[in-house]
Every structure is written in structure tokens, then in C-alpha cells.
């Protein structure tokens, strides 16, 4: 569930959740929205999944058409800007990785690493002892995805696709946040949450099954359902919704207002940021913008 939350926010049982989805407002059934006002340039708001299986990749040509009509592409992070301090941000300032784990958990991590990285326990200690748990968690998740169905090549990303299209058409890219801001979001999480992020991968989450379920929910295009899916989940991230979702959304609204006052924009952020009472759709409406769903 922790990894599920990450896929929506950075960017399970959907069957048990559908009852909530049916009560959502039908007019919120789209992942692509037109944003307008009488005094600003036009904008389009697109809810993404940061990772999606290639055989189910949802990217209608309407998305490309509207991006190419826009003056700028706005995403959570501008991956074109390399931050030379990024490696330092991945390192623990104090202590070591294994300070987060019990002896039994350490043994499990080392077994996972030796089985999947083909390195000795000593080499893992030497190379990864200062790495932050969130980085280890994402590394282990990528290993699992590559193992299952051999699919490093079978994973696609909305952000990567949009980034490529923007570069091909010389459309400037703006990031709401820096790499430092995104990574340091995790630094304030309690130790037990950071520990569980790693152990969830070590225990062998059913990543392929999770991708299929996430894809089904995403393709329903009910952005309120996506929000409440995380809000009502047992994920630790539901306890930190203010930091990971609401606070960031409010910050982005101010940046959106500034951007669209100068130029038209195609805005692409994790789908979990669109719906709910503090989602971008309702926050934009509260600011006086007209927000209309676009059928895909």
C-alpha cells in the first residue's frame, strides 16, 4: 500500500473500493481537464500515473494534441534540470541504513540483496549502508518489477512520454518542485514508516497484480475515487495526507496562477492530486477558474 500511494501521489483492493466510487460526482470522471478564466491564458490539467504497464498504457492522442497547443509543459519535477547535490540528498546525514531495522529485518534485506543483486553481504554493506531507506525501497521495487514478467521494457511513464514530446517540439518545461524538495518530503516520516517502505518490497509485494488493479482504477477516470482510494486506505501515507498531498496542492495552485497569467500551459501531475476536497480541481474552482472535464 505504501508503494501504491507513491504511484498516485508522485505521481489493494479496488473491488472493495468500488462502492465508494459509485457515490462520487459523475462530472469528475476524467483525468484531463480544461482550466480557463476571463483574465488568464488557457490551461489543461492532466492526472498521470508515474508508472504503468506498457500493454495497458493509457495515452489518447488528445493529450498530445493539447500539449502541442500549449506554450509550456508543467510537471511535478523538471527532470531536465540536473541537481548536482542529488546524490548527497540520497545519503543519510547521521547513522546508517541498518539502524532502521531489527536484526531479523536486516537478515531479510541482506538475503533479498544477495539473491537479486548478486553481491555479497559485505559488498552490500560497503555500498549501501549510508543510503536513505526511501531510495533502497525504490531500488528494490524496480528490481521486483524487472523480475516479474521481465518488464523493465514493459513499463511506461506519462511523465517520460510528455517530456519526450515537449523536447521534440521545443516546448519549455517547468517543474513545481525540485528533486531536493521531493526527496526531503520523506525525511520527516517516522522511522517505522521508512522501515516499512523497505520491508514491503523485501516481503515480495505482488507488483504485477498491483499494477493491474491500479490501471483499472486509473482507466475509470474518476479522480475522486483515486483520491478516496488513498484517503481511506491503510497506507501510512493516508496519515500524512497534509504533507504529501494537500500542502503541495495549495503550493501548486499559487504557481499555476502565476504561470497561466503569462502563457498557456499543459499541467501534468499525479492523478491522486486532482480529486478530493483539497484536490487541484476544487482548489482551482475556489480561485474562480472554470474547470471542465475533457472526454477521452
Write the pLDDT tens digit of every residue in 10-62: 442 222 233 333 334 445 689 999 999 999 999 999 999 887 778 788 899 99
Calpha distance 165→94 (Å, rounded): 41
Calpha distance 294→296 (Å, rounded): 6
| pLDDT > 90 in the chain, percent | 47
pLDDT of residue 87: 80
Domain residue limits, the chain: 2-82+155-188+207-293
Write the pLDDT tens digit of every residue in 233-288: 655 566 778 888 899 999 999 999 999 999 999 999 999 899 999 999 999 999 99
Task: Summarize the confidence of residues 71-76 as an average pLDDT.
Answer: 97
Nearest alpha carbon to residue 56 among 247, 239, 214:
214
Angle subtended by helix axes 158-168 and 61-68, to nearest 10: 40
Write the pLDDT tens digit of every residue in 201-227: 888 755 556 666 777 888 889 888 778
Calpha distance 213→211 (Å, rounded): 5
Answer whether 0.85 is exceeded by the pTM. no
> Which contiguous run of DSSP H or E holds residue 46?
strand 43-48
Amino acid at each position: 500500500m505504501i508503494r501504491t500511494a507513491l504511484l498516485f501521489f508522485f505521481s489493494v483492493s479496488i473491488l472493495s473500493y468500488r462502492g465508494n466510487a459509485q457515490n462520487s460526482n459523475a462530472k469528475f470522471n476524467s483525468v484531463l481537464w480544461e482550466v480557463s478564466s476571463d483574465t488568464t491564458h488557457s490551461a489543461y490539467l492532466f492526472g498521470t500515473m508515474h508508472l504503468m504497464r506498457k500493454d495497458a498504457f493509457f495515452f489518447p492522442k488528445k493529450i498530445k494534441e493539447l500539449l502541442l497547443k500549449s506554450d509550456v509543459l508543467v510537471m511535478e519535477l523538471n527532470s531536465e534540470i540536473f541537481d548536482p547535490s542529488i546524490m548527497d540528498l540520497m545519503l543519510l546525514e547521521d547513522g546508517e541504513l541498518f539502524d532502521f531495522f531489527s536484526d531479523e529485518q536486516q537478515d531479510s534485506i541482506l538475503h533479498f540483496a544477495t539473491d537479486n543483486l548478486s553481491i555479497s553481504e559485505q559488498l552490500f554493506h560497503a555500498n549501501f549502508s549510508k543510503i536513505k531507506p526511501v531510495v533502497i525501497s525504490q531500488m528494490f521495487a524496480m528490481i521486483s518489477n524487472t523480475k516479474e514478467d521481465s518488464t523493465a521494457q514493459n513499463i511506461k511513464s506519462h511523465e517520460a512520454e510528455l517530456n519526450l514530446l515537449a523536447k521534440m517540439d521545443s516546448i519549455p518545461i517547468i517543474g513545481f518542485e525540485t528533486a531536493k524538495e521531493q526527496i526531503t518530503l520523506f525525511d520527516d516520516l517516522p522511522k517505522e514508516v521508512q522501515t516499512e517502505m523497505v520491508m514491503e518490497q523485501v516481503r515480495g509485494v505482488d507488483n504485477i497484480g498491483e499494477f493491474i488493479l491500479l490501471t483499472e482504477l486509473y482507466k475509470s477516470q474518476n479522480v475522486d475515487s483515486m483520491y478516496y482510494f488513498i484517503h481511506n486506505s491503510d497506507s501510512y501515507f493516508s496519515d500524512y495526507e497534509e504533507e504529501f498531498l494537500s500542502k503541495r496542492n495549495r503550493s501548486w495552485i499559487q504557481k499555476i496562477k502565476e504561470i497561466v497569467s503569462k502563457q498557456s500551459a499543459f499541467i501534468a501531475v499525479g492523478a491522486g492530486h486532482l480529486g478530493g476536497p483539497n484536490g487541484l480541481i476544487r482548489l482551482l474552482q475556489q480561485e474562480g477558474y472554470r474547470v471542465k472535464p475533457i472526454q477521452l
